[in-house]
Amino acid sequence: MGQDLSSNGLKRTDTRAPDDLGGLSLEYSFETLQAATDGFHDRRRLGSGAAGAVYRGCLRGGSDVAVKALFNAGPMDGFEEEVRTLSRFRHPNLVTLMGWGQHEAAKYLVYELLPGGDVIGRLLKCKRGETGFDWQQRARVGTDAACGLSYMMNCEPKAFHRDIKPANILLDANGTAKMADFGLAGTAQETSPGRLTVEQVAGTPGYACPVYMQTKCVSEKSEVYSFGVVLLELLLNERPAISIHGGKIAYPLRQIVDPGREGALGRALDRLDAAANWPVNTASEVASLAIQCVNGPEGRPLFDTIVPVLRNLCKSRPPGGSSSPLGPAVGQRMSAPAVHSRPPAPASPEQRALAEVVLECIHAEGVDLASLPPEQKSIGIAVGSSRHISHVLGRQHQGDFFERLVPKRELLTCVSRSHVELSWEAPSTTVSLKVISPNGLIVDDSMVTDGCSATVDFGMRLGFRMRGAKESFLELQALLRSRAMVASGGSHPAVRSATRTSSRSSLPAQSRQSQSTGTGSKSIASQSSGSSTAQLECFHASGTDLSRVGWHDRVIALRLDRDTEIGRQHQQGFFENLLNSEPQWMNFVSRSHCTARLARAQGDGPVKLEDLREASASSMVLKIENHSNNIIFVDDKAVPKGDVATLHYGSRLEFAAAPAGKDVRRFLRFELRPAPKKSEC
């Protein structure tokens, strides 16, 4: 086994060591590594993967280390290559290999401990609102990683990492970034000093250079491509690749930026991660550099060009006229380099509370998603202050959205009118999903059938597919946004768009109704003074101060001996306007909810229209027939679907809901009243 060299259990390798690795690095005994990690106890585990796990360890001398245990390492090639590469290179931005070990089939690598974790974890926590990760910290990560990679590329012979991604960039206690995980690393061949030809393509989808994947030839240009993807991820905080239906892969970052098409810089700047508060000029320079890196190989810069650009951005402070961050922010951020600033405090429970639920389309059969703005390929739901909230998804509720993303009629019919119900309890961070369609729903590649529920996690995929089909024709990804995220970065474009739609008041609500039903474009006032006999006037809308709502926008005009259809389809924008503060109740207003018919009470003779407005309360009646599964109330009496009720002047019509078995909530209340005279309008 070789002679023990120190009290730490270090020993030089003997003939058992593969290819004399002991001449390159120190070998640790298995007993030493076992003692350092408390027997590789679960509480010491920092992370795990398909091949093994990483454990926090403490050597007998007091040194903190990270022990990478490869339980399914297979052949020694990758293990030896990592030892050789890291033993050869010593650089502040490359992780330091302290030694290695082996025991039976398992192999071990001992590194310096980097307590800051990996960059992908920081990005994910920032997206969830759990911690901050500002633009200065991200710019420094890019600079540090580029420095380490540039050192490898400019050594003789060149060395290639072959798996550049945020998961392989680790942070020390001071925020310094270091490249790690050199299991796929290789050295350029003597016959071709600038490249390495491999037998098998390796790396991570979304980051690997397409040219390398086709030719199996690694070069500095292919490494620059991977680094450019990392820069874009630091800017936008969007994943380069995600698994979707049928084992296929979607590339959301490339879809958003589309670097090969004109306008890529603008598209990148439009989707910056607002939580980072990128200054305009800085973001523009980094994005321009990143786009150069991921375009054709002939136009890609080399690392010795990339490093000075990024280093200058970290050293310089944004000038006064260009330091404003892209996107809304709360307060001013310090412009000192990240190394001198304290990390942001963790978000409080109130800040972590749910603010928005966004379902973003990541796959739509036959649709070019890259050509659509975010608000047209996402469903945005603002979480209100009410304790229990539910929101239904389906063709009846988001008709335009599904028709836009499912152009084939035979597929569109597979999306039910009411397909899925989302619900949550304020101020929780947890969202529940319940399928309410016989068509079911694919949740992260598993079928959830009618009546079954699941918890919605950040990044969860929801798929719609035809019965018997193996792949989904439409796939949405869930983004749960906290109050902290919305406060620092503003609402998601889909939520802003929904809010604008619901509060639309450029036309009176009744004008929109008359246009949709073909009765002309007169305002409610002109209708009332001309042919309107009576009206249903809203006197209560949950969460809304009706004193701030114009009279025209809270009445439904009724004409004598005419059917008036009532529902979202017929009074477009009317109900949304009344329920703007608590839009969850819109789920309980059907597109065609009921029909109202105003008539004279039996026994009355012919009456002129002008005399009707002076008629007694007993001279007019309104018949209401409910067409909806959602009940209505007339003078406190429930009117289920198919029933008819009668209203007199002063009677009340109420829209009600009983979400998820809760007590009935009457969220909209109307009173039947005579139409006012023209002078009263």
Q: Using alpha carbons, list the distances in angstroms from residue 383 to 321, 334, 399, 402, 496.
A: 36, 31, 21, 22, 13
The CA distance from 528 to 519, in Å, is 13
Q: Using alpha carbons, list the distances in angstroms from residue 284 to 32, 133, 304, 324.
A: 50, 19, 20, 13
Number of CB atoms found within 10 A of residue 295's CB: 15
The CA distance from 496 to 84, in Å, is 53
Which contacts of 211-215 are long-range, i.e. CB under 8 A and separated by 24 or more positions?
Answer: 211/297
Query: Omega into 427 within 30° of 0, i.e. cis?
Result: yes
- Token duo for residue 3: 């002679």
- Token duo for residue 322: 């260009």
Burial class (CB in 10 A: 0-12, 13-18, 19+), 104: exposed
Number of CB atoms found within 10 A of residue 675's CB: 25
Chain centroid to CA 135: 19
Is residue 559 within 8 Å of residue 519, measured between CB atoms? no
The CA distance from 37 to 64, in Å, is 10
Residue in 134, 144, 163, 553 annotated catalytic: 163
Is residue 162 within 8 Å of residue 185, measured between CB atoms? yes
The CA distance from 430 to 41, in Å, is 31
Query: Omega into 157 within 30° of 0, i.e. cis?
Result: yes
The CA distance from 665 to 657, in Å, is 5
Helices (H), 100-251: 119-127, 135-153, 210-215, 220-236
**Could you tell me which of 247, 235, 258 has the C-alpha nearest to residue 166?**
235
Amino acid at 299: G
Helices (H), 258-322: 264-270, 280-294, 303-315
- Token duo for residue 538: 């809203």
Beta pairing, strands 64-70 & 45-48:
unpaired
- Token duo for residue 7: 């009290």
Q: Using alpha carbons, list the distances in angstroms from residue 517 to 186, 564, 572, 633.
A: 71, 9, 10, 25
| Radius of gyration of the chain from its Cα atoms, rounded to whole angstroms | 32
Q: Is 663 a catalytic residue?
A: no
Is residue 169 within 8 Å of residue 179, measured between CB atoms? yes
Dihedral of CA 609/614/620/624: which sign?
positive
3-state secondary structure of 144: helix
**Active-site residue numbers?**
163
